[in-house]
Amino acid sequence: MAKSVETLFVSIIGGPATHGFISTEVLKALGPKGILVNISRGSTIDEKALLDALEKKRIFGAGLDVFENEPNINPRFLQLGNVFMQPHQGSGTRETRQAMGDLQFHNILHYLRSGKALTLVPEMQ
């Protein structure tokens, strides 16, 4: 498919089956006029291959709002003029933001009552 398009949108599920799905071979097929847009998970892109392709102009550019090691984005991305980066907005709906706020409220309430949060970030476990 990458040979047939100029803009390749990646919208696939994350996980072991799709880790590095967008590989050096896919980026070569996309070619020097190609643009990669990832709206799925950072793990679906082989970031080393993508960075090499962007730095060596093997593809024209990329639009990214997810990265493999979020929030620790590879600093090589910050040196590039052919990549557009923005914070992930996949959860940017009114309903999702309300649910996030509700969960935060219930975590605080539960913590104040029991000394334990309902959900913990991995660093706190």
Exactly one of 41, 47, 76, 94 is catalytic; name it: 41
Instruction: Let me know whether 75 and 28 are in one domain.
Output: yes
Ramachandran region of residue 20, left (φ > 0), alpha (ψ -120 to 50) or beta?
Answer: left
Domain-located, residue 32:
yes
The yes-or-no verdict on residue 124 having pLDDT over 70 is no
19 is catalytic: no
Exactly one of 6, 25, 55, 70 is catalytic; name it: 70
- Residue-wise pLDDT tens digits, 16-63: 999 999 999 999 999 999 999 998 899 999 999 999 999 999 999 999
- Total number of domains constituting the chain: 2
Instruction: Let me know whether 43 and 82 are in one domain.
Output: yes
Burial of residue 64, with CB atoms counted within 10 A of its CB: 0-12 exposed, 13-18 middle, 19 or more buried: buried
Domain-located, residue 109:
yes
CATH number at residue 10: 3.40.50.720
Structural domain of residue 103, as residue ranges? Answer: 92-119
The DSSP 8-state label assigned to residue 33 in this structure reads T
97 is catalytic: no
Domain-located, residue 124:
no
Which pTM does this prediction carry? 0.74
Exactly one of 58, 76, 88, 110 is catalytic; name it: 88
